Amino acid sequence: MDQPITEQIIREHLDANPESGRALLHDPQYAAETHRLRLVLNHLDEALTDEGLTGEARHRVGARLAAAWLGTDAAHARAQFAKQLIGQGEVRVPAELL
C-alpha cells in the first residue's frame, strides 16, 4: 500500500537532508516541528484534494512547504557558518540587529 502524500513528503525531505533526519531523532524541538508540519500537511492535502488538485500537484505544494518549514541541510550549514564567522568577529553585525 502506498504511503499517504504527507508521509512521502516528509520521508523524501529527510532522505534528501540527512542532518534533518538525525535532528528528528535527537532534537525534541525539531521532532515537535516535524510533527506540527505533518499535521499541517495533512490539512493542506485535504484542502487541495477538495479543490480538485491532482496528487502530483498536491505533492509538489507539500514538498515546497516542507522545505520552507524544516529548512534544508545546506541552509542550516550556511546559517551555522555565518554564526561562526560572527562569533569570531570576522563579520560585523549591524548594531540594530544585536
User: Can you give the residue ranges of every domain in the chain?
Assistant: 5-72
Rounded distance between C-alpha atoms, residue 90 and residue 49, angstroms: 50
pLDDT of residue 71: 80
- Residue 34 C-alpha cell reads as 516535524
pLDDT of residue 74: 75
pTM, entire model: 0.71
> Does the structure show a pLDDT above 50 at 1?
no
* pLDDT mean across residues, the chain: 85
Burial degree of 65 (CB within 10 A; 0-12, 13-18, 19+): middle
